[in-house]
Amino acid sequence: MESKSKTVYILDTNVLIHDPRSIFSFSGAAVVIPMIVLEELDQFKTDNSERGKNTREVIRSLDMLRSRGALKDGVTLENGGTLRVLMVEEGNPCLRILDPAIPDNYILNMAICMREDGYQVILISKDINMRVKADVIGIKANDYLKDEISAERFYKGWITFQVPAIQLKKAIPADLIELSHEYAFSPNEYAVVEAQHNPHVYKLFRYLGNHEFKHVQLPGLQWGIEPRNVQQLIALDLLLDESIQLVTLLGPAGTGKTFLALVAALHKVLVDHAYIKILISRPVIPLGPDIGYLPGTLGEKLHNWMQPIYDNMEFIVHEANNAQKQHIAPPEQPKRERDEKYKKHDKKTDRHSHTFPTLDELVSRGKISLEAITYMRGRSIPYQFIFIDEVQNLTPHEVKTIISRVGEGSKIVLAGDPYQIDSPYLDFLTNGLMVASQRFKGNNIFGTAFLEVSERSELSKLAGKLL
Segment 376-423, tens digit of pLDDT: 777 889 999 999 999 999 988 889 989 999 999 999 999 999 988 887
**Contact call for residues 207 and 448 (beta carbons, < 8 A):** no
pLDDT over 60 (residue 343): no
**Contact call for residues 206 and 190 (beta carbons, < 8 A):** yes
Helix and strand element counts for the chain (H, E): 15, 16
Interatomic CA distance for residues 54 and 63, integer angstroms: 14
pLDDT over 70 (residue 299): no
10: phi then psi, degrees, rounded to nearest 5? -100, 120
Higher pLDDT, 137 or 345: 137
Higher pLDDT, 458 or 329: 458
pLDDT over 90 (residue 37): yes
Interatomic CA distance for residues 182 and 163, integer angstroms: 15
Percent of the chain exceeding pLDDT 90 equals 52
Residue 404: C-alpha distances to residues 238, 323, 380, 386 (Å) = 20, 39, 8, 12
Interatomic CA distance for residues 282 and 305, integer angstroms: 8
Least confident of 218-232, 252-266, 279-293, 431-445: 279-293
Helix (H, G, I), strand (E, B) or coil at 65: helix
Higher pLDDT, 386 or 47: 386
> What is the DSSP secondary structure assignment for residue 56, as one 8-state letter?
H
Q: What is the pLDDT of residue 423?
A: 77
Interatomic CA distance for residues 129 and 133, integer angstroms: 6
Give the tens place of pLDDT for each residue, 94-117: 766 787 778 899 899 889 988 888
Q: Which residue segments constitute the domains of the chain, with CATH numbers given? A: 7-142 (3.40.50.1010), 147-217 (no CATH), 235-466 (3.40.50.300)
**Contact call for residues 368 and 258 (beta carbons, < 8 A):** no
In which band, very low, low, confident or very high, does the pLDDT at 150 lie, cut at 50, 70 and 90? low
In which band, very low, low, confident or very high, does the pLDDT at 11 lie, cut at 50, 70 and 90? very high
**Contact call for residues 162 and 202 (beta carbons, < 8 A):** no
Give the tens place of pLDDT for each residue, 193-210: 999 989 889 999 999 999
Long-range contacts from 123-130, C-beta under 8 angstroms, 24+ separation: 123/9, 123/10, 123/12, 124/9, 124/10, 124/11, 124/12, 124/15, 124/22, 125/12, 125/14, 125/15, 126/12, 126/14, 126/15, 126/18, 126/425, 127/12, 127/14, 130/12, 130/104
What predicted TM-score, i.e. pTM, was given to this entire model?
0.71
Mean pLDDT, residues 288-316 taken together: 68
Q: Which of 267, 260, 235, 232 is nearest to 248 (CA)?
A: 235
